[in-house]
Structure 1
């Protein structure tokens, strides 16, 4: 379903989101104070507008209240990020997603009503750390400070065992929610069928439990 997104701030994070949303077929409106950044994403945005997100008149002129989602991806200027978020809240946008620079910024954004808060550098750091410390972790998504979803390659110690044999929930406290085989995801895998080498287990659980499962001598 096609949605309308406004992205305010076109640094690396904002530009990347702009391109991905455009390729997914959504309508994207890009806003930044730097005309060079606008030019760089012009082929990936349906509309571009040069201006400052802290300017209430600008937000009104672009019809910010008409967007399904507004993403505030302003870079290092925390004050501008907070003011922009406040102004967008005044326009009663249903979904406001904001990039946070640090924990203090995060707390302020929570208090003023941001619907979702991103820490892209921190999140990417967690992913890279997971890749560097394990040859079997293919992807890693933080759900909270404690819980994650991971994609884990089935190695020879897992291959040949069924989900019943692995019994991951009882033994390790984490759950195998799907199995990916040859690029296809099966969300209702046969619990009695042996897992094949190089299948991908999609798992959810506490990070410590997921590590215990990963490191276990099965």
Structure 2
């Protein structure tokens, strides 16, 4: 069954979510109090609605509690973001993801019941920084303040060595959960899998251990 999503706030972040969900074939309702923005998404999403989501009656009339997931992507208006989230929670929405402007905003959102809080600008900044620092890092996803999943390109230092030879888990405390090789993806690779130069290693672990692995083996 298709999941139904509602995206509130059609700025860059909310707009990109609408497009991505629609491309995946999901049912998406796009909501904003700016008619011009709403019109831009009328042909992209399932439903595009002009509405003030700080008004409980408006959200009720849209049947918002019936959606599987609601994303609050309101831009700079922190008050509207908080009030919208509070109303969504009171109406019994099952999953609420909210864009936060700063750490204080995040604390308030979590206290009033947001299920997930994201910092798209901060997180993207971290990803770009990791990519700039190391030519071998292709992508970076923060799991927590101390743990991440990173895509690392295998250098000539690893070429021809098996996972058991390298003993990466024991030496560095990290796990290679998958290997991308051209069009193939090896999930949970066996200990005797031989790494080739240019393989993309998908590594999970503590940031300190991943950085140590990069410096010792990759660079």
Q: Give the structure-2-normalised TM-score.
A: 0.97
Cα pair distance change 1:139/1:117, threshold 3 Å = same
State how far apart, in whole Å, the 2-side matches of 1:33 and 1:61 are.
15
Q: 1:111 matched to which residue of 2?
A: 111
Distance apart, 1:38 and its partner CA: 1.1
Report Cα offsets for 1:112-153 as digits up to 9, x if no partner. 110000000010001000110011111110101111001111
Q: 1:171 matched to which residue of 2?
A: 171
List aligned pairs for 1:100-179, cutoff 5 A.
Answer: 100-179=100-179
Q: 1:188 matched to which residue of 2?
A: 188
- After TM superposition, where is structure 1 displaced by more than 4 Å over at least 4 residues in a row? none
CA contact (8 A) 2:27 2:46 kept: yes
Cα pair distance change 1:217/1:8, threshold 3 Å = closer
List aligned pairs for 1:17-166, cutoff 5 A.
Answer: 17-166=17-166
How many residue pairs get aligned? The number is: 218
State how far apart, in whole Å, the 1-side matches of 2:57 and 2:161 are.
62
CA contact (8 A) 2:179 2:201 kept: yes
Unaligned runs of 5+ in 1: none
State how far apart, in whole Å, the 1-side matches of 2:141 and 2:184 are.
19
Distance apart, 1:179 and its partner CA: 0.8
State how far apart, in whole Å, the 1-side matches of 2:182 and 2:21 are.
26
Distance apart, 1:183 and its partner CA: 2.8
Q: Relative to structure 2, which stretch is displaced further, 184-193 or 101-110?
A: 184-193
Q: Secondary structure at the match of 2:205?
A: strand
State how far apart, in whole Å, the 2-side matches of 1:188 and 1:29 are.
37
Q: Give the structure-1-normalised TM-score.
A: 0.97
Unaligned runs of 5+ in 2: none
After superposition, the CA RMSD in angstroms is 1.1
